[in-house]
Amino acid sequence: MIKKVQFVLVLLTALMFLNSGLNKIFKYFPVPDDLPEKLKAMDEGFAAITWLNPLVAVVEILGAILLLIPRFRTLGALMLVPIMVGVLLVHITAAPSMIVLPLILAAVLVWVLYTDRAKLLPLIQA
């Protein structure tokens, strides 16, 4: 049962990251008008760094695809954690009222890494 719950949560998380990455490339969802001003300013600042959005988009898309493949799920989660840290920091500083969804996505990634911790231990053991 737990594996099924984890799969559903991972599937939803992967779809969120896939949508986010594809939207960075194709811009099919406009920026909402009701975003906090600080968040809009931060978004414009990130957009000024021309290479950053395509890089983040590729990592989000690739990480989402890897999350969906059980053998590579841990690698996908590892790829998405740095992006998730950035998302959390942006929301903490610019839009704390909108932090619920990023916290849920981060929790799913942490859960994936925790359940696959045996694969990660060789990376940190000397």
Express each pLDDT in 11-54 by its tens digit.
Answer: 999 999 999 999 999 999 998 889 899 999 998 999 899 999 99
Rounded to an integer, what distance in angstroms lies between the CA atom of residue 124 and that of residue 43? Answer: 35
pTM of the model: 0.94
